[in-house]
Chains A and B, each alone.
Chain A
Amino acid sequence: MLSPFRRIAIGAVVSLSLVLTACSGGGSSNAGADLELSDKPVTIRATWWGADARAKLTNDAIAAFQKKYPNIKVEGQYKDWGGYWDALATTTAAKDSADVVQMDELYLASYADRGALYDLGKAKKIVNTSQFDNEALATGQVGGTQYALPIGVGVLSVVVNADLFKKYGVDLPDDKTWTWDDYARIAKELTTKSGGEIHGAAGAPGFDAGSLKYWARQDGGDLFGKDGNVSLKPQSLVKMWKFGLDLISSEASVKASTMVEDQTAGITAASLATGKAAIGSAYNTQITALQKAAGADLRLLQMPRAGDTKANFFKPSMYWAVSSQSEHPAEAAAFVDFMLNNQEAADVLKTERGIPANKEMRGHLEAGLTGSDKAAVEYMNAVTPGEAPVVTPNGGSGIEPMLQRYSQEVYFNKTSPEAAAEAFIKELQGEVDAAK
């Protein structure tokens, strides 16, 4: 038995030396090609971000899993979004990561490239991927390796408050044909007809990576190329920001400062949800939360089009992945399989993490959906997406706050769109280079 002082002293030395030498990643369990489940009692940890509603559903699913695999005990751990990434980085750095982790598109490559995630290709016997489209599977691949599986998918949509349209006598647009010019015109009309009571548009593009991706893709480009470098063209950025600037200056949209406020407030407290604007942008899966907060007739419209390019895309709302530090990758993989492929789990989890990327589960759930959930699925089925976008490369995880910063500079008239576009691309590429 060591005395407490000795232990502390040893701990201090260990902490220092661990950081100094930081033993190389990957446990020994990573070596075997084909994983086998053991029948001995095993405890694994699963961690995710989200609020209490998600925690309840996930714990119910865990209970069902434990019934099916009596020898595996799953400890569920949840955090809020910001805290989740701090904790995940810290525990991973200390080689103490949870076995099963919920991943986001922004961070996937950052973790995968640095060897923090387990290659699910080695768990083919345990994780069934037959019910996933190739496009869906591709969203979880980094450098050709399947590091994560998408849980749910969403697509960009325009959300309109039909009640406000009716109130001010403005017709809903035909979303099969409308363009960004129509969008601006209608928004302006709403502002005018309401006498300034409301604004037409709840925001301008450039506050989330999704909207930028859409504007890049409608020019036939994208944010990142297959080589993992920034492929975004400055013209696309300039076009997007000029469109936003026009919205703001013509008062078709809320003021730039309101957009900033909405950004920090979260979607259920922003202008669209509080009825201060009639048109907004969101992922189709967010309609249920928006609807509830707004207490009005909200509808999903297709994104405006510029030409014939299929600019929209399926965005995985989140993934399940297994940590490379897991001592029980087989059991962790079994849990991932259960959460994605098991009907019992789907019945519990429903669409809380997005509309299932698993086709069978989506079909299974579709019949039972009502109201806005049903509308979200119907909307998605009506979208023909373009080619799947490249996963955000290592180093690109900070793209969203970076984009917001530049958008704010442009929308507050501190920089010209042209100068900002140049600087943004340079800074983003710099981050990607630094992470190589």
Chain B
Amino acid sequence: MSSINELRRLPGSQRGARQQNKAAFLFLLPWFVGLFGITIGPMLASLYLSFTDYNLLQPPRLSGLDNWTRMLHDERLHKSLGVTFSYVFVSVPLQLALALGLALLLDKGVRGLPFYRSVFYLPSLIGGSVAIAVLWRTMFGTTGLVNEALGLFGIQGQGWISEPGTALSTLVVLNVWTFGSPMVIFLAGLRQIPTSLYEAASVDGATRLRQFRSITLPLLTPIIFFNLVLQIIHAFQTFTQAFVVSGGTGGPADSTLFYSLYLYQRGFGHFDMGYASALAWLLLLIVGLFTAVNFWASKYWVFYDD
């Protein structure tokens, strides 16, 4: 590994800082146009709206910090933060562990690899389908499959999806079940690790565990990092899953009231877009903080080859 590190600073990389600036601008041009043309405007607009009283149908009225102070006393907001945090902290590690585990299992030459990969990916494909709501109810409902299976062992089941105590857990299962996307990213990452490194390690007599620890894992850290950052962001924004069980209400008894769902209810259900915009920016601050911490911590465990 060290030999690679020594190669990093060739004179070439210092050639022409101006030229690099220019090249970077050209490469980033489409992104700049998109950022300033499409993304920034609506974003700033929503920031502005967070300081107004805006019911969508009439012009917004400036209301100062009202929306922001209101958050302090909004019990449903606090509830939704609780729901969202517990969801993020449980479902993201579980999903990533499963995705990485199966990716490793699949990467090491298994016969029928394409078959398995497709099968494991299938649930992620139907994640957005209308059928998923019905499906999930049929699995976790009072007379659902899970209870039938439990019945075989003489265990009396319950309505997993409709009891406030367990509804959120079924959503964690749903999220873990659709682990296909991070798995595929892991697989692609694994495939990018040069075979030559393993060959060299084998010649040196390294065991497979050793190879995993000193080659696979370090070289995969950028991808693990990527999945971690993105899955956290996605978990904070979870929306569809909540619709699955509660049809958008966040029920039973607000036990699946995800942050985004609450935000959406305020904005479109109660025509309270000013407050919803403030909520969006609070979410952005929270997620941004998590991401920043993640990036800061990545210095200590993520290995880049540059």
Q: A8-B37, A12-B40, A264-B245 known; A431 and B270 CB under 8 Å?
A: yes
Bound-state CA distance A198–B278 (Å) is 48
**Contact indicator B162/A257 (Cβ below 8 Å):** yes
Nearest-CB distance from B252 to chain A (Å)? 5
Nearest-CB distance from A86 to chain B (Å)? 5
Most chain B C-beta atoms within 10 Å of own C-beta, residue among A24, A90, A405: A405
Bound-state CA distance A268–B17 (Å) is 68
Q: A86-B268, A435-B55 known; A5 and B249 CB under 8 Å?
A: no
Most chain A C-beta atoms within 10 Å of own C-beta, residue among B37, B159, B247, B252: B252
Q: List the A residue with the shortest CB-CB distance to B140.
A: A261
**Contact indicator A8/B33 (Cβ below 8 Å):** yes
Within 8 A of A (CB), among B29-86: 33, 36-38, 40-42, 44-45, 48-49, 55-60
A22, CB-defined interface residue at 8 Å: yes
Number of A-B contacts (CB under 8 A): 130
**Contact indicator A260/B252 (Cβ below 8 Å):** yes
What sequence of 0s and 1s flags, for each residue 302-327 of chain A, a beta carbon within 8 Å of any chain B beta carbon? 00000000000000000000000000
The B contact surface, by secondary structure, is loop
* Contacting residues, chain B, for A21 (C-beta < 8 A): 59
What sequence of 0s and 1s flags, for each residue 386-410 of chain A, a beta carbon within 8 Å of any chain B beta carbon? 0000000001011001001100110
* Contacting residues, chain A, for B42 (C-beta < 8 A): 15
Q: A15-B41, A255-B159, A397-B270 known; A92 and B56 CB under 8 Å?
A: yes
**Contact indicator A397/B269 (Cβ below 8 Å):** yes
Q: List the A residue with the shortest CB-CB distance to B133.
A: A264
**Contact indicator B268/A398 (Cβ below 8 Å):** no
B289, CB-defined interface residue at 8 Å: no
**Contact indicator A265/B55 (Cβ below 8 Å):** no
A82, CB-defined interface residue at 8 Å: yes
What sequence of 0s and 1s flags, for each residue 250-268 of chain A, a beta carbon within 8 Å of any chain B beta carbon? 0000011111110111000
* Contacting residues, chain B, for A395 (C-beta < 8 A): 270
Within 8 A of B (CB), among A349-395: 395
**Contact indicator A85/B162 (Cβ below 8 Å):** no
B293, CB-defined interface residue at 8 Å: no
Within 8 A of B (CB), among A119-137: none
Bound-state CA distance A123–B270 (Å) is 30
A53, CB-defined interface residue at 8 Å: no
Nearest-CB distance from B72 to chain A (Å)? 16
* Contacting residues, chain A, for B164 (C-beta < 8 A): 408, 412, 414
Bound-state CA distance A116–B57 (Å) is 7
**Contact indicator A19/B49 (Cβ below 8 Å):** yes
Nearest-CB distance from A158 to chain B (Å)? 23
Bound-state CA distance A90–B142 (Å) is 38
B161, CB-defined interface residue at 8 Å: yes
Query: How many of chain B's residues have a CB under 8 angstroms from any CB in A?
Result: 46
* Contacting residues, chain A, for B270 (C-beta < 8 A): 395, 397-398, 431, 434
Within 8 A of A (CB), among B129-147: 133-134, 137, 141-143
Bound-state CA distance A5–B36 (Å) is 10
A110, CB-defined interface residue at 8 Å: yes
**Contact indicator B57/A264 (Cβ below 8 Å):** no
**Contact indicator B159/A405 (Cβ below 8 Å):** no
Nearest-CB distance from B226 to chain A (Å)? 30
**Contact indicator B56/A89 (Cβ below 8 Å):** yes
Most chain A C-beta atoms within 10 Å of own C-beta, residue among B38, B163, B251: B251
Bound-state CA distance A435–B41 (Å) is 27
A-B contact list, 10 entries, CB within 8 Å: A9-B37, A11-B41, A20-B48, A89-B56, A92-B57, A260-B252, A265-B134, A265-B137, A276-B143, A404-B249
Binding site for A on B (CB under 8 A): 33, 36-38, 40-42, 44-45, 48-49, 55-60, 133-134, 137, 141-143, 158-159, 161-164, 245-254, 265, 268-273
* 4 closest residue pairs by CB, A with B: A257-B159, A8-B37, A260-B162, A12-B41
Q: A115-B58, A395-B270 are in contact. List 17 more A-B contacts (CB 8 A).
A: A15-B45, A20-B60, A22-B58, A85-B268, A92-B56, A114-B57, A115-B57, A257-B158, A257-B159, A261-B162, A263-B251, A264-B133, A264-B137, A397-B271, A401-B249, A408-B164, A435-B55
